[in-house]
Structure 1
């Protein structure tokens, strides 16, 4: 059914644009279908785009024409026109034409069937193009109805030998995009450029259609629109029905027309994600039948290479190319090949049925998948080798079931080795491109991994050495919640924020509240309501609001201050801006921010970057003053003597500096845009 709909749309489109004829045709003034023997193959049956003057019924008209099928020399043929009175067609379902070439006894037949038997008072007008015949042969054509109602017509036609047409020579002038035609001394000649289709050489579209009278001994320059295989030069004398001569110089010259061939083609995209089907219809100047296969483009840019997908040849009918069970994606494209040239055409719709992003959580990759259609997705780690990234077992799969509401799916993958990338693809279809995502835990970012491992190691050391000191009086640090706030000004800052939050949660058991971990809730209720709700919870539980500062925070704080002074409201959707408004209100009410603590990483910030208004807050420099920060989160200062402060601080610095020396590129933020 889907294929029928696409082919129907393709047929209407091709009729509308005057597409090239690639096989025999039957024109009728009613809906019809045609069958024939092997010699004629199966003709196409359609309504005439430009119907000529009707014949007076009953009548049969025969005339000579030229049949030029692809990859075959042109040959003469007999065109048949019929006009049958409606009064004699009561109960008639179809017609049969019988052909006989008398000299060779070569015979053939054609049947034309009416699709609908609705009453119609109009005469039947039918034209068949056309029965191949040899020059100089007599062709007999007879007609009878199906079923037989006694109506029979017979005519014969002599296929006369073709007289030679006028002589001419030509020169291709590519820099002028024109062909110069020279006429030798003698009578004047009419010349034109045309597109040779199956039966006729059709005129070029305006403004390139020109039919020029050239006197003997002169020449004319004829411009063309595109250099295509069916571009021909036709010459005739000014007399009516004079013999014509024709030359198609580029038919066997693919090196000449290759660069322009695809510019002359219009691609009409009928692909649909909901049906997992890729479909394109071609409108061409010439009767072309290129081969179409799938390929995956690395990036959306047209210059990006497109890698072929094996065994993905599309079926073609009526210049409509269809392939089922496909993950329709803007980077999964058709590669059309004709002769020695090819062209990549991608779906014209840029939206996708699913999207994926990746975030780094310690030594795990978390894939966030959203899909608007029921689908199954697979993912696997891969390693770059020779420009390719081949998936390695095991494969991880998640499924969005039929009838479920569109939403998020999640996959967790371990980072087994440095330099890992991940491939993600739809696994419930035959053809799908694999999207490549490489988060910044690759070999180029040892700094982040070293830093994460260092912070983790330090936390373990601190836990082992200061277990009794850090243990709160009431038994557990986890009972005091920590609301962690920051400014998203750099990827490196985000990476450090996530690392510290994860270590506080996993290593120390803190109840850490972080907007990155509650993105769904923030998006649902809004930044300001979410922040005030979290602040209220932390206050009720005697917890701490930890504000992680950076140079970017200072710039954002200044912008926020300017907005407050000028009474221009800030962005209520920004958690950092909402946090500043909340802190400002608390400090104005009680004179200091009770329950607020400020910390900064020495690599990204200095004490001068902390605004004067915030300096009354307890401030800690990380990593040097990490034990003091942990004591503040606990609710009391740490016993530095029992924590072996100097030894821990030295170990902390050595680990962090070693990680920093390995590589300076910033760590990956929790959400990374999808890439290929």
Structure 2
């Protein structure tokens, strides 16, 4: 199948290239030519042709027309002043009963156009029984026209005629696009300025001595204007203009045409490959809980909802895929969560857009830690029903659910967790909507063990503080005791020294027979000594 498609594409491209490069024969004036020796001339068309005659036996048994071909030619009077004509070349067997040929063409919405070619009596008598050629190129046609051609004898014999349908070349042919006024569209080239959102457009090969129109439009069945338009006057030496755009959509095109009636138009689309520009404009209706999106351009794609995972992947939600058309897509009853996204797929490419990533959450799980344990509360801004389950973490970071309960929440509801919360997670999903993501809230690692360590560390800290205080008090008492003991020892030493000094002085007074005044503290002792003497 792939080989077949490749072959067809190759043939199509070859035919397109041939149509681009083929040049038509030129004629300065239309005429009718016949075989040498056969004199012929073109007469005016008759409006009411006579009825056909019954052919003779010889005419019934032999073929009158042997070969008839049709080809296009261009009748040109100068540059960009050509018209498209048909050349009909007929080979027939001449007899004295055939006085000429009638070549008629008719197409939808057009009157019949006939060329009446007559042979002189002398020449047809001379060449009777021979094959002769008649060539006429005076049938004027339009590009891309379906023409019905009929070749008959004059006079007309019933049943003896040649008919065929012919499709004239279209304006896609390069030769016509340059020379036939009704095909001249001009050539558009452009330079894009993404920062300023501008397109500088240059026009070449436009119809001479005519103003040229330019505009930006969104291409669909027709090209709908965006409001950006301008004109290039025929007096302008530089055939260029600048148009500004708001968004580089793939269907945003530049359209140009000459200022003549029924002028053909040319379109180029600078951003035709930028499909990523289409996946914006997602809106949410909070009253209807509906997710809405409308393509800015017609595109063949699918759109669906998916759930964003921690590893960055987005898992498709069941029964959410829709084919993208020109109309608006609606996903009814959607739970607005940051994990809920839209996935667009066109061909082999996919794009993910998360409209609630920075939005307000309709509900949330609130966890508060108090006195060594965690209080879990489910808070919702709208009345809703949830499925709540406790699960344990596994080695591959997935959550294997152990149990599931259905909870109805009007404003806020406390959740009672059974068992240890250490290394566990809470899975919550809204049940009263069509599309919802599963929210996983994991608790702190080993919260229960942290609580047991608290009860162990606190008494230990108190005991340690008591020991330190007691040691400080004992150290203070010991210091005071040692200081007082030292003071007492110093006092005793001073008293002994005083007694020794007094005794020495008394003895000195007695030996020298001198009377000295002694310190008061020694007087009592000295008196005692004097009396004893």
TM-score tier, shorter chain, comes to 0.3 to 0.5
Which fold has the larger relative contact order, with Cα–Cα distance below 8 Å and residues 6 or more apart in sequence?
Answer: 1
Question: What TM-score results when the alignment is normalised by the length of structure 1?
Answer: 0.36
Question: What TM-score results when the alignment is normalised by the length of structure 2?
Answer: 0.45
Higher strand share: 2
If you compute each CA radius of gyration, which structure gives the higher value, 1 or 2? 2
